[in-house]
Structure 1
Amino acid sequence: MDNKATTIEILFEKAENYTRTTIELARLNFIDKSSDVLSSLISRLVIAIVFAMFILLLNFGISFWIGEMLGNFFYGFFIVASFYLIISILLYSYKDQWIKLPVSNFIIGKMLK
């Protein structure tokens, strides 16, 4: 009888160790995937910020140049602002197709990698 009790105790102990190991592995996998996604998003955000600074300065130059050609500087700013209004309307119209879907596919791809 003592032999059966010992065998059952060993079985429960191995099951408990297996459960702990599985939970620890799942936790480590989650940490790995989330850190990969977060680092990718942060690196893309930094690149986007630097690119936005470039675009901002370029827009100032274009606005002043157009304004100088038209005789008043504010005309150039109105034209550039109108251009961005058109772009923002297009982006809003196609936001799911152009922004939401690619971003969610990127995150899902990183999580499943």
Structure 2
Amino acid sequence: MENIASNVELLYKKAEQYSKTSLELLKLHTIEKTSDVISSLTVVISISIIVGMFTLFVNIGISFFIGNLLGNNALGFFIVSGFYLILGIVVFIFRKSLIKIPIDNLIVSKLLKEKKLSNDLEKS
């Protein structure tokens, strides 16, 4: 009878240890996935800022160039601003397919990448 009680107690301790280890593994996996998504978004945001700054200065140059051609710098800026107004309207209309869906897909693929790899490893 004592042997059964000690086996049950040992089984309980192992189950408790297993659950603690599984919880710790889940925490670490969540931290890894979160850091992967945040670092990917940080890279995209950094590149976007650099491209945005480049585009800003190129557009200022184009505005001055068009303004000099037309004889009035203000007209150059109005023409470039009108172009961006039209571009903004187009992006607003197609914002779901141009912005939201690709970003959602990036985040989901980053979150599911590790899960797919671990499932493949379990199968082999």
- Secondary structure at the aligned position of 2:24 is classed as helix
- Unaligned stretches of 5+ residues in structure 1: none
Q: Secondary structure at the match of 1:47?
A: helix
Residue 28 of structure 2 is matched in structure 1 by: 28
Structure 2, unpaired ranges of 5+: 114-124
The TM-score normalised by the length of structure 2 is 0.89
Stretches of 4+ moved more than 6 A in 1?
A: none
Matches within 5 A, 1:74-89: 74-89=74-89
Q: Which residue of 1 aligns with 2:43?
A: 43
How many angstroms does 1:84 deviate by? 0.4
Aligned pairs for 1:1-113 (under 5 A) are 1-113=1-113
Distance 1:4 1:83 in 2: 81
Measure the CA separation in 2 of the matches of 1:49 and 1:97. Answer: 22
Count matched residues: 113
**Residue identity matched to 1:27:** K
**What is the distance in 2 between the residues matched to 1:87 and 1:110?**
30
Q: Percent of aligned pairs with the same residue?
A: 48
**Aligned equivalents of 2:59, 2:19: Cα separation in 1:** 59
